[in-house]
Each structure stands twice: as C-alpha cells, then as structure tokens.
Structure 1
C-alpha cells in the first residue's frame, strides 16, 4: 500500500505592481516620443527662444559701461529662463489641454495607474526638453556672441538648482493654467499671452533689466521668470554687470532660491485646487 503524500511548496511570489515612479518614467518616455513625432511643435518650442535671442541680440549692441559684457551676452542667460518657461509652462498647458479634449485624461483616470504617474511623465518630458533648450541657447551664445561659460563649480551649481527649481515651478503653473483653456484650439493663446507679458515684465526681452520702469519690475518680481533670469545671470555674468541690475550690491541668490521654492509649493497647491480630468463639455 503506497501512500501519496502531498507537499505544499512555497507560494509563488506574486509580482508587485510597478511603483508610481517607475510608471511615471515609462510615461515620460511615451510623452517624449509623442512630442518628437510632432515636428511642428518641436520646431516652435525650440525655435522661439533661439529666434528671439538672434533678433534681440542683433538689435541691441554695445558694451555696458564699467563692464566687458555686451548686450547680446547679457541676454543669453535671460533667454535661458525664457526657454525653460516656454518648454514647461506653455508646452505643458497646451499638451494637457489637448489630452483633456481628446479624452486621454478620462481614459487614464479610469486606468489602473496612479494619477501621479501621469504628471511625473509630463515633468520628465519637459525636463528633457528644457535641458536640450538650455544646451542649444548656451551653444548659440558661445558661438555667435562669445558668451563665456562659468569657470567655477559654485556657478555651475547655481545653474543646476535654478534650472531644477525653475522647471518644477513653471511645470506646476503650466499644469494649473491648463484648466483655463476651454479647448485645445484656445490653449495656445491662453498659455502664450501670460508667457509673453511676464517675459517682458521680467526683463527677458529688455536689456538691461534695470532700465525698466520700477512699477513693471515690481510686478515681474512676483513671478518666477524674473528670478530664473537673475539666477542664470549671476552664474554666467561677472559682478561688474550688477550696476545694470535692479540690485546693485549682490545677486541675491538666497532670495532667488526662496522665491522659486515658494512657487514650487504654490504651484503644487494650485494644481491640487484647479486641475480637471474632464473637459467642460464632458460635464
């Protein structure tokens, strides 16, 4: 008589669901592929700050008194800030408005994916685009306008944290502002108008910023683009140019970090308060 013995082996480990970070990175790859497939969007996103730099760098000429910095060289770090704002605030606002109108957001909301993965994917996309934008603008400044690259590690560190805080702050603001657009067709106007106005108030299209009227500079100082431009100028330009700035004693890097960090928090709160998964027509 043979007895059959049953041995219960260890249970097969069930695979854990991917984390929101992993899903967000995968989503970021998808977003980048979709972005680079639309060549007209790619051309406009990268060309806007570059064309403005070429035009304004050609219009404004001369060397500032007491410094070796030319007007074109002064505009290069300022235009880096504009390029980041365009790649994040404008690009995100338009793309999310399009996702909302064509039903992508509704489908993703019903998918077994944490909502944070969608937003993380968008931020990964604009982070890569912004980095490429910075590289192109700096290369253009070096080749055409003899812009000197920072030689100290502390200056590159400043470039790094201003870049990261600027990308996060402008991304959150772009996500929040996407709800203002009633449709994909109107999103371009809704996002580009405040971008152009704030770029002017922040001294991006005007050189030097100290020549702007006090009332306009005070309004511009309320928003992150002004502080991004000042932060990049502190890394790329010598202290001798401070006479042309609003501040004449220091670059106020501590205040720059504080304001940009505050906008990161404020932008996140605005996203939580205003973001809509459905379009107004779907309600």
Structure 2
C-alpha cells in the first residue's frame, strides 16, 4: 500500500527494491547476521480480491519556522488482476494515499518476493524505475538490501525554469529490522514486522549548475493476518527560494479492515505492503 510523484521528486520508494532487471544487493552489516526466517509470510500480506483497509492519516507540512497539519482518510482495496506484457499483476486502488489523491498500483509476487510495476497516474521518473523489487523472500529478520541505485535519470520536471528538465540520481535501501507489538485504532498486534526504507535523491539543476538533495525515510509495520498496520514517513524537500528545507511527515494507521477468506497456500499474495513501500515520496512542489 504506501512509500510516492508528479510534483517535485518522483520515485516509488519504497521498501527494498531492485530496479528493472537489477537484483537487490545485500548490505553486509545485516546480511551477515544469521537472522530469523519468518514462516507463513503470506499471512502478513493478505491480498485477495475484495480485501479493503481504511487508514486514518495525518499530513504535517512545514519548515523550521512554520507548521501546518491536517487529517485525511485513505481506503485501499484489492480490485482484481490485470495482464501487462504477458504478466498477471494484482491491482490495488487507493482513494487518497498520503493525502495525494486517488491512484491504482500494480504488483506481482513470485518466489523471489514482491515487485512493483508502476501506477496510474504514473510519472516520467517512475516509468524509468519500474519494475523493481520491494520485498524479498524468504523474509529474514534482520535483513537489508539496496533498493535503487540509478544515476542521470530524467526527472520530468523543470524546477529552475530554464527550459530543460532536470536530471536526478536515486539511491534507496530497505531494511527488515525486527518484530514488535504495535497499537493502532483497530487494535493491538503482537510480532508486527518493522520495515524501514530510506531514499536519497540528488537533483541536478541545469540552469543553476548546482545539485539539491532530498531524503525520504519510511517505517512500516505489518501484522500477521491483517497486513499493513501503520506507516510513518518523513521527507526533506529542498527549497529554491529560501534557506529552510521543506519538512513533510505523513502517518497512516489502520482503523478498519474487511478481509476475504485466504487463498490456497502457495498462491500469489502481494498485499498492502506494496502501496506502502512504493508510496510516492516527494510528491510535492518545491517551496
């Protein structure tokens, strides 16, 4: 369901991915640990058609000197499957993810994990990145891998208004950090899996001959038998007009769910994880 782009920096971050044809690269500090393999992993990512999750959200927007906060609701629904280039994808519809308006997102699960295949409406940058992996199987705790490492991509935006679209370098990592008890409006869930995704974007401003930096960090929790429980996302967006960066925080917590009977063990199971890890970070205009 969650991590972000039409307005400022447009990437689906999202949690632990590899770009089209590029495998996730383990990060030595975590990959060398023995770890715990999570059993029945499909129970953390229920994605049967008709499943629906309602999230209560907060959007906090500000700089070092001014903060604005508002509430929103997002409903995430599995609406079915769709064929794309001969591949069957699961389709999620979100009414207002991250308070950014409606979108459809496309995913596929296989023995290697869950991959993101893009969204509607999509962006110029996203189309250069998909498909990419957002979760790796088997799911081991702790575990970490490089999600994205791409340079010189077309941002699709002319931020400095010189008549040329900017180039951008994107790097992202995803870490499965542990299990803990999490409380959300719907209830309290033990042994929720905590996943942290971190992205950096370096935008090369052609007219100013300079580079501006943005970051996005998302922490998401997934519960057995329910899926995505909660996520917290923090973005730092550079300003071209002031010395203060724009700071954005987005939080969504589960308050209601309607889940269908699980499919037979071994069948495809993508889940609301995807929307989270592919949320459109930096879907904001530069101040």
Name the TM-score, length of structure 1 as normaliser.
Answer: 0.21
Q: Flag the structure with higher helix content.
A: 1
Higher strand share: 2
Q: RCO (CA 8 Å, sep 6+): is it higher in 1 or 2? A: 2
> Bigger radius of gyration, 1 or 2?
1
